[in-house]
Structure 1
Amino acid sequence: MSGEIKKSLKVLVIDSHVLIRQILVSILKDMDEVQSLATFSLKSTRDIENEIERIQPDVLFLGLDANTKDEIQRVESIRKSRPDLPVVIMAPLNEKGASITLQSLKLGAVEFITKPDRDFGITLSKRHFRKRVVPLTRIIGELNRGLLSASKSSEISFPEVEKVMDQKPQKLSSSVEMILIAGCTGGVKELYQLISEMPTELPAPIVIVQHLPKIYTKAFAAELDKITELNVREAQNDSPLIPGQIYLAPGGYHTVIKNDGYRKVLGIHKGPRENKNRPSIDVLLRSATHAYRNKMLAVFLSGGGIDGVEGAKNVYEAGGKIILQSRESALLWNLNQKIFDQIPDLDHHPTEDIGSEIVKNLFGKRAARSQRHSNQLRIS
């Protein structure tokens, strides 16, 4: 029958909480895409890998409670034994959950779902799980399996760096006064690499919107702050935008850019969700277009959905510049495909070239060549 969805996905759910497993079963069994479903309580890493080998799932929902020392090793071991298997982490919405989720995404987990950090909240969270589980399951077939299988990409380390204590404010670039970076599924891992490559003398502020919940964005800002000489912090209300500073939109709030007399400042607010997201990429880009016009550079990393499509059109129509991560290097090219469909003359760049493309827009082609060479030396 035309338009019929083929039942093709084999799903494996592993979590220590029986209520979590029951909730996921009740959601997944009603999905037309799911062919078979298996659930187990949390086991040893070897047992989990044996179940993966036996069932051969298309996606693994892996619950972690962030209270044992071997959980990261468990994710790393699964990624090494089955690098082609999409792993979705389920972790508590607290600081420990944020830490283990970010480390898992860095290792190549494709996405995450937050779960209550108190048992009594689990029974009330079915709606939350449905909002996350259904769309995540439906994008499994769109993931870049070649990139996912490239296990070497999960082995790149990002050493911590010391801050430049006497760093002077940088002069604004004549063509780019604001850099905006947007990411969704697959974006966290790309941001670790991209931010670690940013030049110390950055003549424009960077504002990042990555779809993450509250608590997680604070932890992510702290993680990024360790791997760059620049300062990374969560955006705050009325914080002035300073060249050489990096601001991360806080989870649960929209981040906007406002003109405050002679200067531009950040604003955060709890307005309605846009495109089902708060923070929303479109909300930030719409405000940035009003504030900076053609002095913007917008970078779109891996992601799905439609949040960012209208914002990209706003940037383009205002005369700003746009960089798209390439299909081959992105875990999910769903969002960038939609942007490219609307603006077909945009160039796509692999992950390893995005940093140098930013530098080229700020300083020119010669600086970009130098940046690319420096990045190759760091990775090798």
Structure 2
Amino acid sequence: MVSVLVVDDSVVVRRLIVDALSADPGIQVVGTAPNGKVALSKIDMLKPDIVTLDIEMPVMDGLTTIKEIRKVHPRLPVIMFSTLTSVGASATLEALSSGASDYVTKPANVGSVAESIKSVREQIIPRIHALCRTGGPPRPPVRLAPRPAPAGPSGPRPAGGTGTPQVVAVGCSTGGPDALTKVVSALPASFPLPIVVVQHMPQVFTKMFAERLDRSAPLKVVEAGSGMAVQPGTVYIAPGDYHMEVVRRGGGVFTHLQQGPPENFCRPAVDVLFRSVADVYGGATLGVILTGMGQDGKRGSEGLVAKGAEIVAQDEATSVVWGMPGAVAGAGLAHSILPLNEISHHLINRVAGGRTARPRG
């Protein structure tokens, strides 16, 4: 049984969240709080397994509260409640960088109680179970994808990640904003490859995230638009509610956005991006699967590996949720399973023509 503390200044919203969670017999709401100050005292008293936390509250807001929680409870899962606005997106990204585990968006139509409860239930219950690691089948044994021996100096390079990479393709979800920020920020401004990214996020959030990452990373970071030339040293983040693909036209590669059906309940979806990357770049791809719920990216990784690409998966210990990287690793598609702080080093090493070497210190 997962115990939950619900924190929101609105009586209506607190009731809505409690009603939404009551649909799951494996979840029990053990308490509620109207602001962060009350929440901090109740966390010590009730010892919940997870906390849902509103951002805008009197007395002590959500941003201050998450920072205070992390001082005492560094591993307690916290899900933020956010609005689908620029202000809400900015505050949510700040909360994630301050240690929040994930977020859900508040229902737009609060006039329909049934629809609001359904929206909250569909968003939050899977996140609670994933973050608390409850339910689900046992993890399959992890197998590393075989690495072929390197070719001789004059012979053709074999498939399987030993050739010269031309692109980095990244997929991430829960915990992804912080993980992606750490990877991209550790790459030098001289990093010579384009990086195409699907991070599961709604509209508005992806634009704010790209702008925020662009300010902190040495590389140029943009929210992708359709028809953008894919250039070295630039990070392209798929916009919310659009699948992003890469297409070859003439002598160049360009982004293409489309609103086909969601895949793995997601739009943008990692599988859609990875399929297109496999078609355009084939084995000259470095695929990276970071922390996230579900299995998005597994089928796309299968296609990349079939073309001879290399796949790197984040390890379980450093993942907020080891769903996406765990699915890839468990299927034997990962050539390397690395802690988060080693992934950027691995990418730099591979681009320089070397193999994986553990960073010192």
What range is the shorter-chain TM-score in? Answer: 0.7 to 0.9
CA drift at 1:341: 2.0
CA drift at 1:221: 0.2
Choose which of 2, 20, 26 in structure 2 pairs with 1:9.
2
Residues 109-258 of structure 1 aligned to structure 2 (within 5 Å): 109-116=100-107, 120=111, 124-142=115-133, 175-258=164-247
Deviations for 1:16-45, whole angstroms, at most 9, x for unmatched residues? 22332222212211202114442232x2x3
Aligned to 1:312: 301
Aligned to 2:90: 99
One-letter code aligned to 1:137? I
Aligned to 1:161: none
* Superposition TM-score, scaled by structure 2 size: 0.86
Q: Residue 135 of structure 1: SS of its match in structure 2?
A: helix
Deviations for 1:119-152, whole angstroms, at most 9, x for unmatched residues? 6577743332122112112213329xxxxxxxxx
Q: Residue 196 of structure 2: SS of its match in structure 1?
A: strand
One-letter code aligned to 2:289? F
Contact 1:282 1:307 in 2 (8 A): yes
Pair 1:61 & 2:56 matched: no
Pair 1:274 & 2:267 matched: no
Question: Segments of 4+ in structure 1 off by > 6 A?
Answer: 66-69
Tell me: CA distance 1:69–1:246, structure 2 relative to 1, closer, same or farther (3 Å): farther
Contact 2:305 2:333 in 1 (8 A): no
Choose which of 62, 67, 70 in structure 2 pairs with 1:79.
70
One-letter code aligned to 2:26? E
Aligned to 2:137: none
Choose which of 23, 29, 35 in structure 2 pairs with 1:30.
23
Q: Residue 365 of structure 1: SS of its match in structure 2?
A: coil
Deviations for 1:175-229, whole angstroms, at most 9, x for unmatched residues? 1111111111111111111111112112210011111111010010011101122
One-letter code aligned to 2:54? G
Contact 1:115 1:122 in 2 (8 A): no
One-letter code aligned to 1:266? T
Tell me: CA distance 1:345–1:218, structure 2 relative to 1, closer, same or farther (3 Å): closer
Work out which structure has the larger RCO, using CA pairs closer than 8 Å and 6 or more positions apart in sequence.
2
Choose which of 32, 39, 55 in structure 2 pairs with 1:39.
32
One-letter code aligned to 1:133? I
Q: Residue 240 of structure 1: SS of its match in structure 2?
A: coil
Q: Which moved more, 1:334-343 or 1:354-363?
A: 334-343
Aligned to 1:155: none
CA drift at 1:302: 0.8
Contact 1:195 1:227 in 2 (8 A): no
* Superposition TM-score, scaled by structure 1 size: 0.82
CA drift at 1:272: 0.9
CA drift at 1:116: 4.5
Contact 2:197 2:238 in 1 (8 A): yes
Contact 2:9 2:57 in 1 (8 A): no
Tell me: CA distance 1:25–1:83, structure 2 relative to 1, closer, same or farther (3 Å): same
Measure the CA separation in 2 of the matches of 1:344 and 1:177. 20
One-letter code aligned to 1:243? P
Aligned to 2:159: none
One-letter code aligned to 2:228? S
Contact 1:254 1:278 in 2 (8 A): yes
One-letter code aligned to 1:132? Q
Aligned to 1:354: 343
Question: Number of residues paired by the alignment?
Answer: 334
Give unmatched runs, 5+ long, in structure 1.
Answer: 1-7, 144-172
RMSD: 2.4
Measure the CA separation in 2 of the matches of 1:205 and 1:294. 15
CA drift at 1:64: 1.3
Measure the CA separation in 1 of the matches of 2:111 and 2:256. 35
Contact 1:67 1:96 in 2 (8 A): no
Larger proportion of helix: 1
Q: Residue 88 of structure 1: SS of its match in structure 2?
A: strand
Contact 1:181 1:208 in 2 (8 A): yes
Contact 1:14 1:63 in 2 (8 A): yes
CA drift at 1:105: 1.1
Measure the CA separation in 1 of the matches of 2:107 and 2:88. 10
